[in-house]
Amino acid sequence: MKRTALLLTLLAIATVAITAQNWEVNMLHDINGWDSQFMHDYSKFISKTEPYVALGVPTVMGIIGLIRHDRQLQQDAIYIGTSVVGSFAIAMGLKYIVNRTRPYEAWPDLITPRSTHPDPSFPSGHTASAFALCTSLCIRYPKWYVIAPSALYAISVGVSRMHEGVHYPTDVMAGALIGAGCAVGSVYVSRWLNKKLFGN
C-alpha cells in the first residue's frame, strides 16, 4: 500500500512537471505562431528599438534637464537611468548563472527563430529594462497618460520577445519582475546619488 502511494505520488509530481513544461512550450508555440505581417513587423520593431528607448528616455531627460537647469528633471533622469541599467546588469548576470538554452535551439521543430542571440535565454534582458523604464516612469509620474503607454510598451516588449522565438514565457515574467524590482530599489539608490551629486 505504501509503495503504491509512493509510486502514485511520484507519478503525480512527474506529470505536473511535464505538464508545466508543456504548458510553457505550448504557450510560446502559440505566440510564436501568430502569423500576420503586422505582428512580424511590430515585434521586430519593438525588439530592435527597445535598448535605444530604454537608454534614450533617461538620457534625453538628463540632457533637457541640464539645458534648462532643471534639477528635478536631472534627478528623475538619474533615477530612471539607474533603474534601467541596474535591471539589465542583473538580467545579464543571471543569464550566465542559469544558462538556459534559447527556445528555438531547444525546440527547433516547434519554435521559429525570427532573430537569434548568442547569450542564454533566462531571463529576458529586453523585458527587464523595458519594465524598469515603465515602472520608474509610473513611480515618478503617476498619471494615466504616462502609465497607460508605458505599460503597453513594456508588455509589447515581452510579447515581442516570445513572438520572435527567443524567450520562454518564464524568461519574460522573470524579466518583468527584475525590471519592476529594480525600479523600486532604485528609489533608494537615486536618493543616495542625488545627495552626492546635488547635496539634497
Tens of pLDDT, residue by residue over 12-43, are: 433 333 344 588 899 999 999 888 899 999 99
CATH classification of the domain holding 43 = 1.10.606.20
For the chain, how big is the Rg over CA atoms in Å?
20
Examine the pLDDT at 141 and tell me if it is beyond 90: yes
Rounded-to-integer distance, Cα 193 and Cα 163, Å: 38
Q: What HEC string does 96-129 produce?
A: HHHCCCCHHHHCCCCCCCCCCCCCCCCCCHHHHH
Q: What HEC string does 10-78 produce?
A: HHHHHHHHHHHHHHHHHHHHHHHCCCCHHHHHHHHHHHHHHHHHHHHHHHHHHHHHHHHCCHHHHHHHH
Total domains present in the chain: 1
- Residue 147 structural domain: 2-198
The answer to whether 75 touches 194, Cβ cutoff 8 Å, is yes
> What's residue 191's pLDDT?
72
Average model confidence (pLDDT) for the chain? 86
- Give the CA distances from residue 196 to residues 58, 86, 187, in Å, rounded to whole numbers and listed in that order: 19, 19, 15
pLDDT tens digit string along 158-186?
999 999 999 999 999 999 999 999 999 88
